[in-house]
Amino acid sequence: MRFTQVDEWLRWMETQHPRAIDLGLERVALVASRLDINLKMPVITVAGTNGKGSCVALMSAILGADGYRVGAYTSPHINQYHERIVVAGERVDDNSLCTAFSVIDEARGDTSLTYFEFGTLAALLVFQQQSVDVAVLEVGLGGRLDAVNIVDADVAIVTSISIDHEAWLGNDRETIGREKAGIFRTKRPAIIGESTPPKSVLDYGKKLGATLICRGAQFDAQQSADGWAWKGQAANGDPLSYLDLPKPPIFIDNAATVLQALQYVGLPVSYTAIKQGLGSVKIAGRCQHVQYRGIDVVLDVAHNPASVQILVDHLAANPVSGRSDCLFAVMADKAITDIVAISIPCFDHWHLAPLESNDRAASTVSVSALLASMNVDSVSVANSFAGCMNTAMSGLSAGDRLVVFGSFFTVAAAMAELADLIGLE
């Protein structure tokens, strides 16, 4: 074995391919064939701009509540790499990870793999070796050329399509939609979580011969004051409905999409498990509320306009009695102007934090200048993330709110600071 510690493997993996992102299936499929990866269990693949992680979490919670052993693969992680590979609700252990990386390293020969490709193969190996009942795989980037797409999913989900990762996926919804729809398979169900998806998604699905199931047509959700109801169809096409469902801590449309996808997995799922999963699912870093001395700290990895709009809507639906500040740090390649424009009405003060040792992050100077150009003058610029967090928290009182958002890196750094204060994991 080349290394015996996970961190050593991760550092080495980051250096093994000339590009951090290199979309394409040829290399990773070749290594997968050498590893004899052949998943026998049902596989659900989830693509989309936003909502992927939420769908994986809810799918896992519901199936787990019915006693199924679920393997879930997501990315990126917030605090620890092990978050990416979960079996039966437990993060993968160090030994399993190191063993998987070693087996992949030996099998690849002179084929170079990206960090994400190593991780994807490791997840598939772990799920195969640990004989999970069902695998739920989140697409990392796009769909058609993402490493996850080497697996022929039994059920494909596309949650939503909006503008993000333009350098790799395209600059408009139609082009991006075609990339996401690349996870569809002939004569297999393709669940579409948008009521108005790009035409390219529908056209590709029809041309391929996938079974298209769309929100607003074959399934939908109806909210009420106390909960919500779902109507859709069973795998044989018969109408189906669930009433009096508890509201999950995610967008209801994503929950409705998951409930429809579950009808095609081939595993019986009880109404009791659905209610239990909806009520118990926990999604770190997505509209996550943490209380500290009466201050409502909201952690959200929102990093594109569509996800920030969801966050803004969530804040409006859950007001506080006092002031609302934000702590903001974002990657330079994001649509920062649009993100800020959507967010401005929500906050009394902006705390701009640097993300030390992250060369992708937008500088606090550039974000401050942008806010000034948009007539936002209540802004603080910190020299360190820890200092920014301390200043932001010390300026608030019970009944106030601090919203931390902009990227996975931002939320991870905030969680590290909060761990010292309240033991947040």
Q: What is the pLDDT of residues 208-237, one digit of tens each?
A: 999 999 999 999 999 887 789 999 999 999
Q: Is the pLDDT of residue 378 over 60?
A: yes
Distance (Å, rounded) from C-alpha 211 to C-alpha 235? 11
Distance (Å, rounded) from C-alpha 425 to C-alpha 418? 9
Distance (Å, rounded) from C-alpha 53 to C-alpha 387? 30
Q: Where are the beta strands (DSSP E) in 166-294?
A: 189-192, 211-214, 220-223, 228-233, 239-245, 288-292
Q: Is the pLDDT of residue 369 over 70?
A: yes
| Chain mean position to CA 130 | 24
Reading the block at residue 250, the tokens are 């995610």
pTM: 0.90
Q: pLDDT value at position 133?
A: 98
Distance (Å, rounded) from C-alpha 158 to C-alpha 181? 7
- What does the pLDDT average to over 178-188? 96
Distance (Å, rounded) from C-alpha 256 to C-alpha 325? 32
Q: Are the C-beta atoms of 53 and 138 separated by less than 8 Å?
A: yes
Distance (Å, rounded) from C-alpha 292 to C-alpha 397? 10
Q: Which residues neighbour 175 within 8 Å (Cβ) at sequence distance 6 or greater? A: 169, 200
Distance (Å, rounded) from C-alpha 165 to C-alpha 148? 17
Q: Is the pLDDT of residue 124 over 60?
A: yes
Q: pLDDT value at position 250?
A: 64
Summary mean pLDDT of the chain:
93
Q: Is the pLDDT of residue 162 over 90?
A: no
Q: pLDDT value at position 164?
A: 67
Q: Please, what is the Cα angle at 422 between 416 and 424, to 5 degrees?
A: 50
Q: Which residues neighbour 369 within 8 Å (Cβ) at sequence distance 6 or greater? A: none
Q: pLDDT value at position 263?
A: 97
Distance (Å, rounded) from C-alpha 141 to C-alpha 147? 9
Which pLDDT band, with edges at 50, 70 and 90, does 320 fall under?
very high
- Cα Rg of the chain (Å, integer): 21
- What digits encode the pLDDT tens for the residues 49-91? 888 999 999 999 999 999 999 999 999 999 999 999 999 999 9
Reading the block at residue 161, the tokens are 């399509």
Reading the block at residue 119, the tokens are 């991780």
Other residues' Cβ atoms within 10 Å of the Cβ of residue 344: 15
Domains of the chain, with CATH numbers?
6-280 (3.40.1190.10), 288-422 (3.90.190.20)
Distance (Å, rounded) from C-alpha 196 to C-alpha 341? 24
Q: pLDDT value at position 203?
A: 97
Residue-wise burial string across 366-397, b where 16 or more C-beta atoms lie within 10 A, e elsewhere: ebbebbeeeebeeebbbeebeebbeebbeebe
Distance (Å, rounded) from C-alpha 24 to C-alpha 335? 25
Residue (of 71, 146, 143, 91) closest to 116 by Cα position: 146
Q: Is the pLDDT of residue 425 over 60?
A: no
Q: Are the C-beta atoms of 261 and 234 separated by less than 8 Å?
A: no
Task: Output the furthest CA–CA distance in the chain (Å, rounded).
Answer: 60
Q: pLDDT value at position 165?
A: 63
- What digits encode the pLDDT tens for the residues 384-418? 999 999 999 999 999 999 999 999 999 999 999 99
Q: Are the C-beta atoms of 42 and 155 separated by less than 8 Å?
A: yes
